[in-house]
Amino acid sequence: MRIRAQKGLTFDDVLLVPKRSPVASRRDVDTSTCLTGKVRLHIPILSANMDTVTEAAMAIAMAQAGGLGVIHRFMSVEQQVRQVRKVKRAQGFMVENPYTVVAEAPIDDARQIMEQHGVGGLIVIDGANRLVGMITRRDLLLAPPGVLTVREAMTPAERVVSVGPSVSSEQARALLYEHRVEKLPVVDKGGTVIGLITSRDVAKSDPHSHASVDDKGRLRVGAAIGVNHGELDRTEALLEAGVDVLVLDIAHGHADHCVAMVKSLRRHFPDAQIVAGNVATREGARELAEAGADAIKVGIGPGSICTTRIVTGFGVPQLTAIMDAAAGLAEAGLEVPIIADGGIKSSGDMVKALAAGADTVMIGSLFAGCEEAPGAPVIRDGRKVKVVRGMASLGAAMGRRATEKGMDESAEDQEDWDKVVPEGVEAVVPYRGHVAEILYQLVGGLRSGLSYGGACTIKDLQRNAEFIEITAAGVRESGSHDVRKL
């Protein structure tokens, strides 16, 4: 047994000391950062892989604002793949694997596919996936009673304007306009359908936007995976659906099975971007990076809904955990980005996390009250609120088991819930409107923070950072005080 000769500090224990600044305007700073070696983001913010925080709607809004959402893993592989596909289809001037129907199908099949996926048109193909025609909602609406099959109602291929795979967004825009059509099927030299370009997507693809997009202009998205048997199949399905980043998310990531899983993922999917965690020490960060992780997630117990530290007695205050992880990687000469996960209550906390060595931050509760978070708002004591729950809370455990069994959460169950040892709580947070508004405030605070730090970039901020430990009086002085808030 030993006691470390080191004080564990967290965000409220310190302030950053202002530095002489070359920044004249907050507009002149650069908030971009690396999530992994290959994925850059315009803003250093991720939404947490929690079932009350990130599904497709949140991930879309996060990527549109220049950050990234990580879809949680407490759903079936099929459901998670569907969530990823929703994000990948939300934007991007070319949709891969567009919805299709075969020419001989009854027109009711076409109607059903359109309704199921909420699209206004389908590409008609033959058995070899070659373009045969196009059918739209309008064709179905106007088809006389005698028209029974898709082939009879569709516009045949000879009259469909199609393009090759190398078409640019500007060429597609010109063709859509010239021919006054809504959609352009993308076909290869042999006539095989490989994609679809829609006028809506082309109109939305703004080259000056700061959205997080892949090389096809589609929004970027992350998805969480676990270490259990079957997770390699989940990974394969997620990659197939176009996921940009996989987040191997284990409560205690500095563990043999997590290191082994990172190695296994690296071996099976050499090109995948893999985030691994969570850890809170030099050794934890270094070992996951050496195993092949492309970014390390740091945080044991700092989260607003976490009770790990109370239940187990383990954890490292978050600022120290970030500094230690960064030192561990630097000592080993590993340039692997760090994600500071949990405990961010304000833009100031985010600036401190970045200054301490994180490249991005992951946020849960602060986003759980947003419109885009899963679940509807409810009224509690006359105020509009939303529910947030720790992924190791009793409610989340019950929800997971109910989903696995395909039963209602509230239904009577044989399970002995007294045997569950939760490490998280369920709570409510104020309804906060759209996440874009919160992100605007967070990024505004970061821009201002960079200017106080004499920094044009996040890397400058880290180089210049000098923390000062403060007392309880300093903490009190830091908030608004001795006034009655309106």
State the minimum distance, in angstroms, from the CB of residue 305 to ligand XMP: 5
Is the Cβ of residue 98 or residue 301 nearer to ligand XMP in the bound state? 301
Tell me the CA end-to-end span of the chain in Å, nearest whole number: 51
State the minimum distance, in angstroms, from the CB of residue 304 to ligand XMP: 4
Is the Cβ of residue 289 or residue 392 nearer to ligand XMP in the bound state? 392
Is the Cβ of residue 101 or residue 298 nearer to ligand XMP in the bound state? 298
State the minimum distance, in angstroms, from the CB of residue 424 to ligand XMP: 2
Is the Cβ of residue 185 or residue 364 nearer to ligand XMP in the bound state? 364
In angstroms, rounded to a whole number, what is the distance separating the alpha carbons of residues 99 and 122?
6
Is the Cβ of residue 139 or residue 324 nearer to ligand XMP in the bound state? 324
* CA-to-CA dists, residue 441 to 74, 95, 268, 346, angstroms: 30, 33, 41, 9
Residues 6 or more apart whose CB falls under 8 angstroms from that of 87 comprise 56, 59, 60, 63, 69, 71, 219, 221
Block residue for tokens 């919160």: 438
State the minimum distance, in angstroms, from the CB of residue 374 to ligand XMP: 14
What is the CA angle 12-15-20, rounded to 5? 160
In angstroms, rounded to a whole number, what is the distance separating the alpha carbons of residues 140 and 225?
41
Is the Cβ of residue 134 or residue 356 nearer to ligand XMP in the bound state? 356
State the minimum distance, in angstroms, from the CB of residue 368 to ligand XMP: 7
Catalytic site positions: 306
Q: Which two tokens stand for residue 184?
A: 């352009």
Chain centre to alpha carbon of residue 328: 26
State the minimum distance, in angstroms, from the CB of residue 197 to ligand XMP: 36
Name the phi and psi angles at 89, rounded to 5: -90, -10
Summarize as ranges the residues that interact with ligand XMP (CB under 6 A): 48, 50, 278, 299, 301, 303-306, 308, 341-344, 362-366, 390-393, 423-424
What DSSP letter does each residue of 316-355 carry, written as one string?
--HHHHHHHHHHHHHHTT----EEEES---SHHHHHHHHH
Amino acid at 294: D
For residue 370, give the DSSP letter.
Answer: B
Closest-approach residue to ligand XMP (CB): 424
Name the phi and psi angles at 381, rounded to 5: 50, 40
